[in-house]
Structure 1
């Protein structure tokens, strides 16, 4: 396993991050345990979840599964970098969502209980809150750091200007501030190349791409699949819309002798700003397949062909659209 620093911090994390959104709604507790056990064996030390994950099992169900796994063997807690998120709706009350100091404190306490731990290594804002001032947000986060309940603060789904504003607001307070950003990033969706990636590079913010496989589009979707997300109607509609590109992509993957999922992950990993893409295996077999991407180094010729099939903006802003 390869390791790298999380943004500008001294913390080292694996080049793949284990996403757990499937744990509970699509992957049983016992199978989730097996996936986490194998991830540790493979050297993956970066685990990501969110307080709202759980699907039909209910808010917090995924965190509870991870908590049971940690409780089963308490030595596991110090072998992983545990990340979760705050923002989403956790109840019916008017203060049961977003990033008020009130909600941040309560959401953190609830996550700690579900995760059966006394601290969260990376506490991430799941979305930008346009109604709460940074002074309030960072005051709440600083308090959690002082109490030893969280160590680092991260963000998710932030625009580049949100990251810039947060960076300087934290600097005014002599606070470390945001050290990582989770954004959607894959061959199919390259929007963050315009501004978010340049911002992450400028501010020393680690990029943790979510949906690196394009929601299933980039992992051999033309093969007959009988279960999992790739069988859902919305994805099948996207397949028909993108069929020419998908066919060209899967043909290229076959020519170079690699699975589409491995190529998609290797492409994301080839970006020097990327810390670790989030893989969200539903099965143990998917985990094993995802890890193979670390051994794959794409040639310049292959990268050029991928750009032709899945073109990005062409450059960062404003060069992408102006002289």
Structure 2
């Protein structure tokens, strides 16, 4: 396994981040525990979750699955860089969501209880809160840091100017601020190249892409469709219809390289200078093993250029739309 620092921090994390959103609603607890054990065996030390994950089992269920795994011993917690998130409403009562100082205190304590740990390595804002001032947010986070309940703060789904505003408010308080940003980023969805990536790099944040294979569209979907192994419906089917020619060219390129399409999609992200670790969300151990293969895929400049021609990216703003 390869490791790198998370943004400008001194924290070392694996180049792949284990996403746990499927744990519970898609993957049972025993199988989830087996996947986490296998992730450690592969050297993956960076795990991501959120207080709202749990699907049909109820919000908080995924954190409880992780907590039971940590509670089974074997230095599982000590070997894990743990990231969780808050923002979404946990109940229909007031102050049970977003980023008020009250909810930060309550949500953090509730997550710690479910996770069976006394601290979280990275506490992330799942969405920007347009109604709570940054001074209030940072004061609450500073308190949690002083209490030893969290070590770092991160963001998710922020715009570039949100990152800049958050960091400026933190600097005025002589506080570290954000060390990471989670955004959707893959060959098909490259909007973050406009302003989010430049803002993250300028402010020392590591980029953590979610949906690195765009819901499976970059994972060999056409071949699976031909083999009768997958049938898309709804938005996924519409997206495939829109991008079919590009995806066909992409799968042909992967075959030419002798790699699985999903390996190429993940490897492309790992070749992007702003990216710390894509979030992989395996439902099975086999899917985890497949994701790890991408770490050994080297893409030369010609291949990267061909991928850019198939899936055109963005220049940083304002060059993308001005002279």
Report the TM-score when normalising by structure 1.
0.97
* CA–CA separation in structure 1 for the residues paired with 2:80 and 2:229: 30
How much has 1:233 moved relative to structure 2? 3.2
Cα distance in 1 for partners of 2:34, 2:232 equals 24
Separation (CA, whole Å) in 1 of partners of 2:289 and 2:166: 37
Partner in structure 2 of residue 100 of structure 1: 100
Instruction: State the shift of 1:47 in Å.
Output: 0.2
Number of the residue aligned with 1:16: 16
The C-alpha deviation readout for 1:134-181, integer Å capped at 9, x for no partner, is 010001100110111111000000111111111111011111110100
> Is 1:282 paired with 2:280?
no
- For residues 261-309 of structure 1, give each alpha carbon's deviation from its aligned partner in whole angstroms, at most 9, with x where no partner exists: 1100000110111111101111100100000111111111111111111
Separation in 2, partners of 1:299, 1:142:
44
1:232 Cα deviation after fit: 4.5
Structure 1 position 307 matched with structure 2 position 308:
yes
Distance apart, 1:252 and its partner CA: 0.8
- Structure 2 residue aligned with 1:165: 165
Secondary structure at 2:163 match in 1: helix
Q: Distance in 1 between matches of 2:89 and 2:213?
A: 26
Q: Distance in 2 between matches of 1:147 and 1:279?
A: 31
TM-score relative to the length of structure 2: 0.97
Distance 2:134 2:278 in 1: 27
Tell me what 1:40 maps to: 40
Q: Distance in 2 between matches of 1:224 and 1:247?
A: 12
| 1:203 aligned partner | 203
Q: Distance in 2 between matches of 1:149 and 1:132?
A: 22
CA distance in 2, matches of 1:156, 1:303: 27
**TM-fit CA distance, 1:215:** 1.2
Partner of 1:65: 65
Superposed displacement of residue 223, structure 1: 2.9
Q: Where do residues 83-232 of structure 1 align in structure 2 (5 Å cutoff)?
A: 83-224=83-224, 231-232=232-233
Give distance in 2, aligned partners of 1:74 and 1:136: 38
In the aligned structure 1, how far is the partner of 2:233 from the partner of 2:140?
Answer: 40
Shift of 1:237: 2.5
* TM superposition shift of 1:227: 7.7
Change (3 A) 1:175 1:74: farther
User: Where does structure 1 differ by over 2 angstroms across 4 or more consecutive aligned residues?
Assistant: 223-228, 230-234
Secondary structure in 2 aligned to 1:179?
strand
| Structure 1 alignment gaps of length 5 or more | none
- Distance between the aligned counterparts of 1:189 and 1:96, measured in 2? 32
